[in-house]
Amino acid sequence: MNPLVSVIVPCYKQAHFLKESLQSVLDQTYAEWECIIVNDGSPDNVSEIAQQWTQKDSRFIYLEKENGGLSSARNFGIKSAKGKYILPLDADDILHEEYLSKTVPELEQNSELAIVSSYSKFFIKEKTNVVYELKPQGSECTNLLYVNQLVATSLYRKKNWEEVGGYDESMKKGFEDWEFWIAITKTGLKYKIIPEFLFYYRKAKKSMLVNTVSNHAAEVKEYIFKKHRECYIADFDNCMTVLFYEQNALQKNQKKIKKSIEYKIAKAICKPYRMLKKMWRKK
């Protein structure tokens, strides 16, 4: 008998995408699953839509909680999960119909394997409108230290979630899945990438990931580095190479901006205001 997989779908202000996401779960060729929809205090009609699905198929389960963020919602759903394996799925993303059929056997056949993921296609509006293809690499913790090779929707063992204490609920600004993967693999466990496009990630102008990369990347990276400092200390030489490379890249980008026509025009426009500001200070 095939093991049960618990698909965890947190939802906050994404009720309009939920139908497509849940349909991709229902379409799985692998039948042994339960899908736990977690309403994370969403102000839209998540409840109404989710309950339509619980009536359609008893494998769909609906839970509600006060808003606490993505990590909190995932942990809340996983606590109720009965599956041997866990698959997080954001409410706006889509699974290939063979996602579970291809990933579950990998974990079943290899006890040293903790996580299984795949190639991903990033799309805008329609699944067929692909704008980027992600082909992650690596198999161990060192491959994850500086770049998150795994999308959040990757299959893993529930026992590993229990061992690391779940997702870090203090990480409300993003990259919580990246930190989670490091926490699991730093014990020596491996991950595997299936070289097939089995996952579709909805690329939006406004999203938690976009906000993190644009506004909080350095802050959140610092938190991860300090939380798992033993990993970065063990990889010290490479860590310094990466950090100084990023610093040099930032400096080159700043110089490039200062040489641009747009920057020079903006500087010329602002010059009178700077002169007025100096005059007011003298007074």
Check residue 134 and give its pLDDT.
96
Check residue 251 and give its pLDDT.
75
Q: Give the separation between CA 283 and CA 182, rounded to whole angstroms.
A: 57
| In the predicted structure, residue 209 carries a pLDDT above the cut 70 | no
Arithmetic mean of pLDDT, 13-22: 96
Q: Which two tokens stand for residue 224?
A: 């991860």
Q: Which two tokens stand for residue 13?
A: 């202000």
Q: Best-predicted range by mean pLDDT among 99-103, 171-175, 211-215?
A: 99-103
Q: Give the separation between CA 41 and CA 34, rounded to whole angstroms.
A: 22
Arithmetic mean of pLDDT, 70-76: 97
Mean pLDDT taken over the chain: 90
Check residue 246 and give its pLDDT.
80
Of the chain, the end-to-end C-alpha distance in Å amounts to 84
CB neighbour class for 76 (10 Å; exposed up to 12, middle 13-18, buried from 19): buried
DSSP string of 81-147?
A: ---SEEEE--TT-EE-TTHHHHHHHHHHH-TTEEEEEEEEEEESSSTT-EEEEE----SSGGGTSSS
Arithmetic mean of pLDDT, 70-98: 98
Amino acid at 237: D
Q: So where are the chain's domains?
A: 5-206, 237-282
- Any idea which residue has 């693999």 for tokens? 185
| In the predicted structure, residue 211 carries a pLDDT above the cut 60 | no
Query: Which tens digit of pLDDT belongs to each residue from 104-115?
Result: 999 999 999 999
Please tell me the chain's helix, strand, coil percentages from 3-state DSSP, rounded to the nearest 5: 50, 20, 30
Check residue 270 and give its pLDDT.
64
Query: Which tens digit of pLDDT belongs to each residue from 248-276?
Result: 777 777 767 666 766 556 666 666 666 66
Check residue 272 and give its pLDDT.
67
| In the predicted structure, residue 122 carries a pLDDT above the cut 60 | yes
Check residue 256 and give its pLDDT.
72
Q: Give the separation between CA 44 and CA 46, rounded to whole angstroms.
A: 6
Query: Whole-prediction pTM value?
Result: 0.86
Query: Which tens digit of pLDDT belongs to each residue from 224-233?
Result: 999 999 999 9
pLDDT band at 277 (very low <50, low <70, confident <90, very high): low
Q: Give the separation between CA 122 and CA 205, rounded to whole angstroms.
A: 13
| In the predicted structure, residue 198 carries a pLDDT above the cut 90 | yes
pLDDT band at 167 (very low <50, low <70, confident <90, very high): very high
Which architecture does CATH list for 5-206?
Alpha-Beta Complex (3.90)
Helical spans, DSSP H, in 194-260: 208-211, 217-227, 229-234, 236-259
| In the predicted structure, residue 86 carries a pLDDT above the cut 60 | yes
| In the predicted structure, residue 206 carries a pLDDT above the cut 60 | no
Q: Which two tokens stand for residue 160?
A: 């590993």
- For the chain, how many helices (H) and strands (E)? 11, 9
Check residue 68 and give its pLDDT.
96
Check residue 265 and give its pLDDT.
63
Among 88-92, 137-141, 275-279, where is mean pLDDT lowest? 275-279
Beta strand 5-11 pairing with 85-88: parallel
Check residue 9 and give its pLDDT.
98
